[in-house]
Amino acid sequence: MDLKSVDFIVDKYQEKRTALISILHDVQDRYRYLPEEALRMIASRLRMDINEIYGVATFYKSFSLVPKGRHSITLCMGTACHVRGGPKILRELKSFLCIEPGQTTSDKQFSLNVVNCLGVCAIGPVMMVDQKFYGEMTPIKARRIIEKINNKRSGVKS
């Protein structure tokens, strides 16, 4: 793994321990997760114990120690979304992507997450893909959204 980017990021924050969270965010933006090698380099450069770095990385839900897909799919399973068909949508996504919540497809294109609430109950069931909300979701609509993203990636016009 090329760690030159990690050096650049740590340099950007002038090796300040107080910038640890910002450094971790930048590293995750670069690699789509926090690789162990990068965390060890950060610990060395900031003169911190690796356990301190892991403590921060595992405390905040926004950080991931496993590779994430290029596209993040988040399905709301809060009460409103659940009673309006959330479980059916989840079954469709799991079947279509061949992954469980918390996992990433083998081609590293999609990560699937389930949350208790996305805060937009009025348009539930809700699915969010790459920070864009899709309301009044159905299993068929969910599948079509994923297919459309895949078609854009492969150059197929929809």
**pTM > 0.75: yes or no:** no
**Do 94 and 147 sit in the same domain of this protein?**
yes
Q: Mind giving me the DSSP string for 104-116?
A: B-TTSSEEEEEES
CB-based burial label for 68 (10 Å; 0-12, 13-18, 19+): middle
* Long-range contacts of 79-82, Cβ-Cβ distance < 8 Å, separation of 24 or more: 80/121, 80/124, 80/125, 81/118, 81/121, 81/124, 81/125, 81/126, 82/125
Residue numbers of the domain that contains 99: 71-154
Quick one: tokens of 56? 């921060």
Inside any domain, residue 64: no
Using the CB atoms, write b or e for 22-48: b if 16+ within 10 Å.
ebbbbbbeebbbbbeebbebbbebbee
**Do 51 and 103 sit in the same domain of this protein?**
no
- pLDDT the model gives residue 155: 65
Per residue in 19-50, pLDDT tens?
A: 999 999 999 999 989 999 999 999 999 999 99
Rounded Cα–Cα distance for residues 122 and 80 (Å): 8
DSSP state of 155: T
Domain final residue, candidates 59, 79, 100: 59
| 127-129 and 71-76 beta bridge pairing | antiparallel
Band the pLDDT of 154: cuts 50, 70, 90: low
**Do 75 and 126 sit in the same domain of this protein?**
yes
Give the position of tokens 């068909």.
85
Neighbours of 133 (CB within 10 A): 15
Helix (H, G, I), strand (E, B) or coil at 130: coil
Beta bridge partners, 108, equal none
Per residue in 52-108, pLDDT tens?
A: 999 999 998 789 998 899 999 999 999 999 999 999 999 999 999 999 999 999 999
Inside any domain, residue 43: yes
**Do 120 and 86 sit in the same domain of this protein?**
yes
Q: How many domains, in total, are found in the chain?
A: 2
Rounded Cα–Cα distance for residues 42 and 20 (Å): 9
Lowest pLDDT segment from 92-96, 100-104, 140-144, 151-155: 151-155
**Do 149 and 75 sit in the same domain of this protein?**
yes
- pLDDT the model gives residue 151: 85
